Amino acid sequence: MATDTFTNAVADIAEVFMFEQWLRHYYVVEKEGKLVIEVSPDDLKALYETEQHLGPLVDMLNNSEISYEKCQATVCSFVGARYDGSKYGPGVITSALDSKAFKVEMYVFGVWMKGHEQYLDERRMPFSEWREMYAGWNTMAEVKEYRKKLMAGGGNPNQPATKTVH
Q: Give the span between the Cα atoms of 49 and 72, in whole angstroms.
A: 25
pLDDT of 154 reads 52
Q: Where are the beta strands (DSSP E) in the chain?
A: 28-31, 34-37, 64-65
pLDDT of 153 reads 85
Q: Give the span between the Cα atoms of 60 and 62, in whole angstroms.
A: 6
Bridge partners (DSSP) listed for residue 35? 30
Among 1, 21, 15, 5, residue whose Cα is nearest residue 68: 21
pLDDT of 157 reads 54
pLDDT of 47 reads 95
**Averages of pLDDT over each 10 residues, the chain, 166 residues:** 85 97 96 96 96 96 94 95 93 95 97 96 96 97 95 60 38
pLDDT of 162 reads 40
pLDDT of 3 reads 78
Give me the phi and psi of 67, to 5 degrees please.
-150, 170
pLDDT of 2 reads 62
